[in-house]
Chain A
Amino acid sequence: MSATISQAALRELVTEWIKQGKRVVGPREVKPGCVLYEPLESSDQLLLEGFVHPANSVKEFIFPKHEELYGYCITGNRIELIEVKPPAGEQVLIGARPCDAASMPILDHVFNWDYKDELYDLRRQLTTVVTLACTAHDDACFCTSVGLGPAAERGSDAMLLELDDGEYEVRCLTEKGKALFDGKLQASERVASVAAGPEKRFEAQQVWAFVKEHFDSPFWPSETLACLGCGACAYTCPTCHCFDIVDEGNIERGVRARNWDSCQFAMFTLHASGHNPRPDQPSRQRQRIDHKFHVYPEKFGEILCTGCGNCTRNCPVGMGVLSVLTAL
């Protein structure tokens, strides 16, 4: 026994969600050839085929690229802090890839390991994730090398799997997912077949061992020469979560906010004294691999990577973690 929904019915549902005031986010072709996860204004903007992975990730919707922490008003030597409104308003991520959905339970660890980041937690609670299983992959995908796959269920509240006739099998995986699709599905006998994922490209365990043992190896300088030190990989990565805290405003009022940051920027670890523990690109690239494949698993038991391939696709010079990992 399974449940299915037609594309038309699915789009009708999307329209309903939008009408209900939910923020509905899904893959959208913002311009020819450029597909991004974006808030949808109408259901016809939702793209369900013709792409492997949007150029960005869904993390922006639970961990915004710029988030105000609080405001402040300065009058003489009096300061008044203005609290931010807690995140409110339900949102539905529809058409998320399994690699994006899986990133969220992985990120939950760091945002909750002692101090609970309620800004993040509240957004998570307000979000229902409807994943779209993959029917194709490209050269940059490597979800199977990090324990995931084209229909991996981690982090999904419901999953859509394409059937031969263009309809979708819907698997409701959590109460949230069930509630979202309540009464909208057809009972069915049809079960979707799951596509074969990409071939395994490397052994994640070996990466951990390599980074620990070869910290000072000339491997890093030689394999990372092409890196230009931008933040395209980190910012399009579903699991990168490094951030900066800045004050912005004028002499009377302003906000303290957090912004995405990337360990690839030269100033990321620059001390005020001028000392920089990671003074060159090889050491910064090493940190990226180290953090994702050694530090995070050591601390939280999970690899900080879901193999979505965005880093490789978005890297202006074709690098991404894959090039380093396969060279190991």
Chain B
Amino acid sequence: MHNIYQPDLMKVIETRQQTPDVKSVKVRFLEEARGKEFSFRVGQFGIFSVFGYGESTFNICSSSNWKDHLEFCFRRVGCVTEALWSVEEGDVIGFRGPYGNAYPTEEWKGKNLIFLGGGIAMPPVRCAVWYVLENRADYGDITIVYGARSVADLVYVDELDKWAKHPKVRVVRCVDPGGETPDWKGEIGFVPTVFERAGVSAENSVALVIGPPIMIKNTLPVLYRMGILPSVVYTSLENRMKCGVGKCGRCNVGSFYVCKEGPILTMAQLARLPADY
């Protein structure tokens, strides 16, 4: 019997503390053969678990081009993430996936890409950024605007610098007013404001916006004013999940099952959904 709920065992190969309450974890399949045959598309998510505590849903924030490990990033807020916080190199955790849909990287080809991320929402943007950078020739100009409440809350900070080194990639980092440190060299302001100030061209552009609801709410008008239509503004919807395979009846937004038809969708699609998220 093939049990769809039974996870793969993953060995933790690295944990990194990104902020006071955020860690990223790299895992590899315990069974090498399984690791070799496994693949996923960038944007999909997995259900990671600590045995004894439970399962939790996280975006796979590593690029789908990387074959030797999977990575996810989490904030320490509840039972499972508290257990994940104590996980160390060499420990074994569970993984089910990949689930959900992926970023429409084919449709993005030839376009200029705008990535807007806020706080803990950077990881799902991160995998998209690495993916397009690895297929650099397929995509146009890339603009990345990433902000958090304070300097300490920025995740994958070291990678921001790496991205900026790529051709035609512009990285703007910002922190909320009051979140800066004396030696902060980046922008100060909320992501929507900083983005508007940045004067990015809207020509032939698509945008990926992931962040707290308030950030998205304020960013959309900026994008629309620039002339970027809702049908090309993408986001990754979060919702409480359990099974990840469309059976437990929990994550639906109207008739849109986030775990099956999402989590990636356009603002145009989102506008057609009821306010059930």
Contacts and interface: CB of A to CB of B under 8 A. Distances in A.
Interface in A210-252: 215-216, 241-247, 249-251
A110 B247 contact: yes
Contact of B90 (A77, A81, A295): A77
Interface in B62-92: 75, 77-78, 81, 88, 90-92
B274 A72 contact: no
A272 B90 contact: no
Contact of A110 (B51, B52, B246, B276): B246
Nearest to B260: A114
A86 interface: yes
Contact of B249 (A122, A241, A250): A241
B50 to A, nearest CB: 8
A269 B242 CA distance: 10
A290 B254 contact: yes
Main SS at interface, chain B:
loop
A117 interface: yes
A81 B7 CA distance: 9
B38 interface: no
B32 to A, nearest CB: 17
A118 interface: yes
A278 B239 CA distance: 11
B185 interface: no
Interface in B1-57: 1-7, 9, 49, 51-55
Most chain A CB within a 10 A radius of its CB, from B55, B213, B245, B275: B245
Nearest to B273: A215
Contact of B240 (A118, A249, A269): A269
A243 B5 contact: no
B180 interface: no
Interface in B248-277: 248-250, 252-255, 260, 274-277
A292 to B, nearest CB: 11
A181 interface: no
Contacts of B239: 269, 271, 277
B54 to A, nearest CB: 5
A110 B162 CA distance: 45
Given A247-B54, A258-B5, A111 B252 contact: no
B243 interface: yes
Given A247-B53, A271-B238, A295-B254, A242 B249 contact: yes
A291 interface: yes
A272 B250 contact: no
A245 B5 contact: yes
Interface residues of B, number: 44
B5 to A, nearest CB: 4
Contacts of B54: 245-247
B6 A69 contact: yes
B248 A244 contact: yes
A16 interface: no
A115 B1 contact: no
B255 A295 contact: yes
Given A110-B246, A256-B5, A291 B91 contact: no
A270 interface: yes
A72 B54 CA distance: 12
A78 B92 contact: yes
Contact of A269 (B7, B78, B88, B250): B250
A284 to B, nearest CB: 11
B77 A272 contact: yes
Contacts of B275: 215-216
A245 B55 contact: yes
5 closest residue pairs by CB, A with B: A242-B249, A86-B1, A295-B255, A215-B274, A272-B77
Given A70-B6, A74-B51, A115-B245, 12 more contacts: A77-B92, A114-B260, A117-B247, A215-B275, A242-B249, A261-B242, A261-B250, A270-B240, A272-B81, A277-B253, A277-B277, A295-B252
Interface of B: 1-7, 9, 49, 51-55, 75, 77-78, 81, 88, 90-92, 94, 213, 238-240, 242-243, 245-250, 252-255, 260, 274-277
